[in-house]
Amino acid sequence: MTKDVDWRYLPRFPFGDSPEMADELLDLILAGQKRATCWSATEGDNGAIVGGRWVVEDGEGRPRAVLETVNLFQQRFDSVDETFAVAEGEGDLSLSSWRETHRSYFSRNGGFAPDMLLWCEHFELVQILETSAST
């Protein structure tokens, strides 16, 4: 993990669709369990590029960590494999759990289809930011 990254000018956002989910997913990142994420390709690439860095926020919008994209690809929802599900680090780490939680998430946030195209991203934790860090 690199130290002292000037993160103040990096893009920033929380994971998930609620403050509670943002905090849960952040905890998984900080624990080293979550190293991947995905989103609907209909949202575009969100500016993600391999080597790009961004700040993940907690549920209150505070900057908490710097992440770096190490792999980025498109894949259909129904083609996501167990290796990617484990890298997402959520639930019981099984593909069936991943499919269930992500089906629910996408249904809440614009629609779900088994053949929907996703952006799939692997990232690494570059720096943990102090919770008192100013924005």
Q: How confident is the model over 7-59, as pLDDT tens digits? A: 999 999 999 999 999 999 999 999 999 999 999 999 888 889 999 999 999 99
- What stretch of H or E contains 100? helix 95-108
Question: Do the domain assignments include residue 3?
Answer: no
Question: Do the domain assignments include residue 89?
Answer: yes
Cα–Cα dist 135/126, whole Å = 18
Query: What CATH number should be reported for the domain holding residue 81?
Result: 3.10.400.10
Cα–Cα dist 61/26, whole Å = 12
What is the structure's pLDDT at 130?
Answer: 81
Question: Do the domain assignments include residue 39?
Answer: yes
Instruction: Quote the domain boundaries for residue 69.
Output: 12-128
Mean pLDDT over the full length of the chain: 92
- The total of structural domains in the chain comes to 1
pLDDT(106) > 70:
yes
Question: Do the domain assignments include residue 4?
Answer: no
Question: Do the domain assignments include residue 78?
Answer: yes
Structure tokens at 54: 């961004």
